[in-house]
Amino acid sequence: MTRTLLFLLALAPAATAHAQAVQIKPLGEARLRYEAVDQDGLAANAEAHAHYNADGFATDTDKFLLQLDWTL
């Protein structure tokens, strides 16, 4: 019985806490890039398609961001 009473007394301050409104801001960025190389003296030319993408969200206290970067 005393353990239960101590447990309830320990939780009492948590019960009086009030939730605050959280602002969520979306984040996003994307870039597409094309590169080509044509050099004299080399038999083959080179081409590359690169894509960068970053998506996520930010709150008042934290930020989550997922970044993807790949080349075709």
pLDDT in tens, 4-36: 656 655 655 555 556 678 889 998 999 999 999
Encode burial over 53-68: b for 16+ CB neighbours within 10 A, e otherwise: eeeeeeeeeeeeeeee
Record the pTM. 0.50
- pLDDT for 10 equals 63
Question: For residues 27 and 54, is the Cβ–Cβ distance under 8 A?
Answer: yes
